Structure formats: C-alpha cells, structure tokens
Structure 1
C-alpha cells in the first residue's frame, strides 16, 4: 500500500480550521456508526447515503451533503482522512476558511454529480468523503505541483513531487472509471470512480481560478523539489 504521510506546508495564511474540523466530524460520525448493528447501519446508509436513482427522481437531495460524512469501513475512513490531513491544510491556508468550506462542499456536490451521471439506474447508496477530497487534490496539483509529498510504501519512506503523485492518482481513477463502466461492474467494484474524477476536475478548475485571483501571493511557499 502507498500512502502520503506529509507534504511541504506553506508559511502564513489561514489556519486549517475546516481541514481538521472535517476530520473530526467524519471520525465522530464513524464512531456513531460503530454503535449500530447491521440492519441499523444499512438503513442509515440508505437514508443518508446518496442514491443516484433516488436523487434523479427528485428525492433526498440532502443526502448529497450527508453522504460526504459517512464511511463504509475502517480502511475507507483511514485512507480518506490521511489524504484530507496531508493535502487540505495548504489549500485552506491559501484561499481562506470560508472559501475552503464552500469549495469543499461544492467539490463534494460535483463529485456526486459525476457518480450519478455514470450510474443513473443505481439503487446503491454512495458514501464517503473521497469526492470532496478529490476536489482538494485537483486544486493542490494546480497550486502546489512542485511540493514534495512524503510517501510511505510498506516500510520505506520516499519523496515525490505532487504533480507526479497526484497525476498518477488521477490516471488510475480514469482507467478504473472506464474499466468499470456498466451497471454490473460499476456496482461490484464498490468504488465511486466517477465521483473521484468529477471532484478532481472541479478542483483543477477551482485551482486555476484561485491562482488567477492571486491567492498564492498571500502565503510563503518555497518548494525544494
């Protein structure tokens, strides 16, 4: 398994109030999930998870937001929270707390739109923060392409540029997304690939917007890579 465990943080800017706050909220919700038995958890996911067919029928729009804070298992939430912890604080430091809150939630909505677009007949609830986090990754690759990402590969630690790490990540998502198209393969894979892709595309567009507006001029950032 390959996990990012650190990056080059910017100096100055805004504190990571929502970046770390979202981690706390996700963990609290997950702990609450652990108190449920199998039937209760299933009902919880079907109520607060985003179900493409239900949303397209005009019902349960709130699930587009609530689904961002649910996770299907321990490895699911650990993986998502590690990515959120490593990458989100730099984005929030640059664009500000209120802007980051709006950006994160919109990223999650665009991610859900991507998933729904390619799974219009699905009755399976989609859960997880990975769509919104994918938006963070998209913005990061635009704003911090030369940042050195500290990566853990089994027991070995090495550094790679954000451009290479995130570039490889999104290529993997696109390949998996196209490989799992179709109702049977999409539902059996258990991963909302097109949510990742949709969120990332939104994040890239937002990253260019933030860069054009001069947000990077408000912090000190001197990558070694």
Structure 2
C-alpha cells in the first residue's frame, strides 16, 4: 500500500515552507554525493559522538535532518512530505509549521538516541520530522481521502487507515530493532526515530492548535 496523493480541495494557501524543505533536502543530498563520506561523517548525527561532546555536536541534530542515505531514502521521504506536509502547513501557517517540523525532528533524533546513546552509527534523514508531520495529519485530518497504490489500482482510503497501518509497522519493527541495534551495532532503519517523531507530531499538533477550526476563506 503506497500513498501517491491526497485531497487538497480544502487547502487555502501555497505550501511555501513544504516546497522549501523539499528543495533543501534535495540540495543537501547533492552535496553529499559531491563531497562523499567525509561530508556525511561530519554532519550526520552520531549518538556516541554527541554523548561525548553535546554542545560541540549539537549542530548535527539539525544538519542530519536534511541528509539521506540514498536515492530511495530521499525519494520516499520527499513523497510523504509532498503529500502530507502541505495540509499540515495550511492548518498551522508557515511559521508555526516550520517550528513544528524542526521540533518534531529533534524529538525523533532523541528518541533514537535514547535507545543506544553510545552508538557510533551515523543517523541521517528527514524521516523523523516527516513522521511528526504524519502524526499531526492523522490528528487533524483522520478522515481525509488518501490515494494509495494497491497493485495496479489506485484506491482512495481514509487517512486513519493508511497512517494507522504505517504506525503499526513502525511499532512492530521498532521493537525488533532495539535489540539488533544494541547488540550487533549494525545500521538500518531508525524505527524509534519514526515512532518518536510520530508521537511528537501528535502532541505538538495539539500544542500548536491544530485542532482549532481554521478561519473561513474569503471569497
């Protein structure tokens, strides 16, 4: 089940922050390709390195949020941001949405950090922040129509089913990944960052007033 779009008929404004975030992620990825492993090692969030020098390594909490491990990683994240981010931005407004996105990303990184603060595996990706966007979307638009690709068919399904199944997958995968990460120190998907970002999105969605009725559009 692969989401490919949603209902934007109620969107009131152009999602400039979402577009800008996508552009920044793409630019940073090309910088990774151009500068190689040295760039990744310098700007990725490494839990063990952060534990040793939190103040000196704090900038990587931000920089890692715009880095990716490959074309599929980038493409999948940007697709989800494109589909779900515009509606969340429309409800919050651009300034609150940008703050929301960054805070959700930080929360996601710390959720993964809590699993193994001594890990030397570089953490990169916008997945945690985007998981926060999904959490806020589910909170604010649970019955919104999401178009998903099922085999060769496109089927419209309510958001609470699409994102609910995504959450279950993250929880199940996350439980299994804790032992793998702690015991084998192997890289992979940072599922706990997804879970942490999603929970942060739900909480911040309430804090940022996402449940308040938006003002009516002026004709």
How far off its partner does 1:171 sit? 1.0
How far off its partner does 1:210 sit? 4.0
Measure, in 2, the Cα distance between the counterparts of 1:69 and 1:186.
27
Is the Cα–Cα contact under 8 Å of residues 12 and 93 in structure 1 kept in the other structure? yes
Measure, in 1, the Cα distance between the counterparts of 2:64 and 2:216.
33
Instruction: Give the stretch that moved more between structures: 109-118 or 182-191.
Output: 182-191
How far off its partner does 1:186 sit? 7.0
Instruction: Give the stretch that moved more between structures: 16-25 or 154-163.
Output: 154-163
Partner SS, residue 181 of structure 1: helix
Partner SS, residue 218 of structure 1: coil
Equivalent in the alignment of 1:23: 22
- Name structure 2 gaps, 5 residues minimum: none
Equivalent in the alignment of 2:6: 7
How far off its partner does 1:209 sit? 2.9
2:143 corresponds to 1:132: no
* 1:110-125 → structure 2 map (5 Å cutoff): 110-125=107-122
2:49 corresponds to 1:51: no
- Name structure 1 gaps, 5 residues minimum: 221-225
Instruction: Give the stretch that moved more between structures: 18-27 or 153-162.
Output: 153-162
Distance change in 2, residues 1:186/1:142 (3 Å): farther
What whole-Å deviation, never above 9, does each CA across 1:118-147 have from its counterpart, x for those lacking one?
021200110000000000000000000000
How far off its partner does 1:219 sit? 5.3
Measure, in 1, the Cα distance between the counterparts of 2:57 and 2:123.
13
How far off its partner does 1:10 sit? 4.9
Count of aligned residue pairs for this structure pair: 214
TM-score (norm: length of structure 2): 0.91
* 1:41-80 → structure 2 map (5 Å cutoff): 41-57=36-52, 58=54, 59-80=56-77
Partner SS, residue 123 of structure 1: coil
Measure, in 2, the Cα distance between the counterparts of 1:27 and 1:123.
25
How far off its partner does 1:189 sit? 5.3
How far off its partner does 1:9 sit? 1.5
Equivalent in the alignment of 1:202: 200
Measure, in 2, the Cα distance between the counterparts of 1:24 and 1:65.
16
CA RMSD, Structure 1 to Structure 2 (Å) = 1.8
Partner SS, residue 15 of structure 1: coil
Equivalent in the alignment of 1:92: 89
Partner SS, residue 63 of structure 1: helix
TM-score (norm: length of structure 1): 0.89
Is the Cα–Cα contact under 8 Å of residues 180 and 186 in structure 1 kept in the other structure? no
Equivalent in the alignment of 1:155: 152
